[in-house]
Amino acid sequence: ELRWNHQDPDYLPPEIDTSKPSIARVYDAFLGGKDNFAADRAVAAEGMRHFPDRGEGARQNRAMLFRGVRFMAEQGIDQFLDIGSGLPTMDNTHSVAQRVNPGAKVVYVDNDPIVLAHARALLQTNDDTRVITADMRRPDTILRHPQIEGFLDLSRPIGLLMVAVVHHLGDAEDPHGLVDRYKAALAPGSYLQLTHFCSCAPEVRALEGVLLKMLGTGRARDMPEILGFFDGLELVEPGVVHLPEWRPGQPVRTPLGLGGICIAGGVGRKP
């Protein structure tokens, strides 16, 4: 506990089992990060054997996450709830949001305690950013979390991020019903940014097979299913698309490569 408080980037809390792959660390390995272990790298290597995109899909996802956050911040959103936030990388939701709106508040939520361990060290000096360990399958616990109540004002618009996380829910967990519960809690004028593995090509199905087998999770869904997560919202142009096509800063090279087609998503506004 002492070392935890003393910001040691190499310290790992005892509840973190490095012998089994974790979603957050496998994603970090796909991104070429350093916060992963052999078990995580084995999943990423096998994934890339079946889906040789060299991590481009993960990088495109991260890039679209930041384009969406910047867009929402430019619309005046100054509070964000980032569910399934993952390990910190070179840039992060709070830095992007706070570059547009200094003082923007961000809460990171992840159910993997390694995210808390890494993010705490990073955020020690940032009073406008918090990180909590909680499971997205328990929206009431998250929305009424003591770290959120009195910090985010849910009676005002927020930006809700569910980026590359809902595909970690099986059909039996009713992912659409769960996202609906979050949307119902949002004030009008709030935004939802959501991205999801897209079963648009056989290669993605192969990657899905590797993830389901080795990680136990990572479900690709088709475009109508992904679009369904935005029911009741006004879609921001250009709608739900493959990520490189979502408000790119520059013209997009088509046809999209493997890394471009594996994830789809968009941003919607609650009327």
**Which residues in this chain contact ligand SAM in the complex, by CB under 6 A?**
23-24, 27, 61-62, 65, 84-86, 110-112, 115, 135-137, 163-165, 168
- Sorted by sequence, the CB contacts under 8 Å of residue 230 that are 6+ apart come out as 192, 194, 240, 266, 268
Residue 39's CB is within 10 A of a number of other CB atoms, namely 18
Q: Give whichever of 58 and 236 is closer to ligand SAM, judged by the CB atom.
A: 58
Contact indicator for 21, 12 with CB cutoff of 8 Å: no
Q: And the tokens for 203? A: 């290669």
Minimum gap (Å) between residue 31 Cβ and ligand SAM: 8
Question: Are 87 and 29 a contacting pair, CB within 8 Å?
Answer: no
Using the minimum distance from each CB to ligand SAM, give the nearer residue, 75 or 89: 89
Considering the complex, state which of residue 57 and residue 157 has its C-beta at the smaller distance from ligand SAM.
57
Closest residue (Cβ) to ligand SAM?
86
8 alpha carbon, distance to own chain's centre? 25
| Cβ closest to ligand SAM, residue 5 vs residue 45 | 45
Tell the smallest beta-carbon distance from residue 52 to ligand SAM (Å). 19
CB of 86 to ligand SAM, least distance (A): 3
Cβ–Cβ under 8 Å, residues 94 and 126 = yes
Q: What's the min distance (Å) between Cβ of 115 and ligand SAM?
A: 6
